[in-house]
């Protein structure tokens, strides 16, 4: 079993102490402790060694001033071949998301995501695709449950310089003018 531990000397400006522990390459934990008079403790743990292709993580923050948890959530992903499935619960388990990505080839992939905000009983569904035309250009498009269709064409003119053209329209209301943009 290989255990690695890193301890950072406290940064006077940030007033935090970080402790990072990695075990055997598949398990990692990170703890951040605030050094103020009302510190917050933030803890993150992840593991990718129990099930082949699966990675899971959890986080929580404890606020000493309020005497309770201020943040917690978890996420897990499973990768099998060219497919990846993801599930996560964040915002104190109030927001739940599930997603699926299929990398059909080096040039083409598609994805879908369903998200639900439990406290507001609202949900969204989005599907999208990405296509790499050649090594310097690509196009991406997505459609959400509100009928908003978005697309972006990106071209790398030279290393570090790119051009992008974007378009957005309502697929449910074709009378509404589309939005166009360039960067």
Q: Please, which pLDDT band fits residue 25 given cuts at 50, 70 and 90?
A: low
Strands 122-134 and 108-117: antiparallel
Supply the mean pLDDT for the chain: 88
Determine which of 12-16, 67-71, 95-99 has the lowest per-residue pLDDT on average. Answer: 12-16
CB of 179 closer than 8 Å to CB of 160: no
Cα–Cα distance for residue pair 165/180, rounded to 1 Å: 7
| Predicted confidence (pLDDT) at residue 73 exceeds the cutoff of 80 | yes
Tokens of 144: 């959400």
pTM attached to this predicted model: 0.74
Please tell me the predicted confidence (pLDDT) of residue 67: 85
180 contact partners, CB below 8 Å, separation of at least 6: 165, 166, 167
CB 127 within 8 A of CB 146: no
Q: How far apart are CA 76 and CA 182, in angstroms?
A: 36
Answer whether residue 160 shows pLDDT above 90.
no
- Residues 30 and 61: their CA atoms lie apart, in Å, by 12
Per the structure block, which two tokens stand in for 83?
């497919």
- Cα 102–Cα 76–Cα 44 angle in degrees, nearest 5: 135
* Of the listed ranges 50-54, 94-98, 160-164, the one predicted with least confidence: 50-54
The whole-angstrom separation of Cα 140 and Cα 110 is: 10
DSSP state of 11: B
**Pairwise CA distance, residues 15 & 82, whole Å:** 43
Confidence band for 52, pLDDT divided at 50, 70 and 90: confident
Output the pLDDT for position 132. Answer: 97
Interatomic CA distance for residues 137 and 131, integer angstroms: 9
Q: Using the predicted structure, report yes or no on whether residue 2 has a pLDDT greater than 70.
A: no
């Amino acid at each position: 079993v290989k255990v690695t531990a890193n301890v950072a000397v406290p940064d006077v400006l940030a007033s935090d102490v970080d402790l990072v522990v990695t075990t055997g390459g598949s398990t990692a934990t990170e703890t951040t402790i605030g050094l103020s008079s009302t510190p917050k403790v933030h803890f993150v743990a992840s593991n990718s060694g129990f099930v082949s292709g699966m990675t899971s993580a959890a986080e929580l923050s404890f606020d000493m001033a309020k005497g309770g948890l201020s943040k917690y959530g978890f996420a897990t992903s499973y990768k099998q071949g060219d497919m990846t499935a993801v599930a996560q619960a964040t915002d104190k388990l109030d927001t739940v998301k599930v997603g699926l990505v299929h990398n059909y080839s080096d040039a083409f992939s598609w994805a879908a995501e369903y998200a639900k905000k439990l406290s507001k009983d609202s949900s969204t569904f989005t599907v999208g695709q990405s296509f790499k035309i050649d090594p310097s250009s690509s196009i991406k498009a997505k459609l959400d449950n509100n009928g908003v269709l978005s697309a972006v064409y990106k071209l790398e003119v030279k290393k570090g310089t790119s051009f992008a053209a974007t378009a957005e329209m309502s697929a449910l209301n074709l009378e509404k003018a589309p939005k166009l943009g360039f960067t």
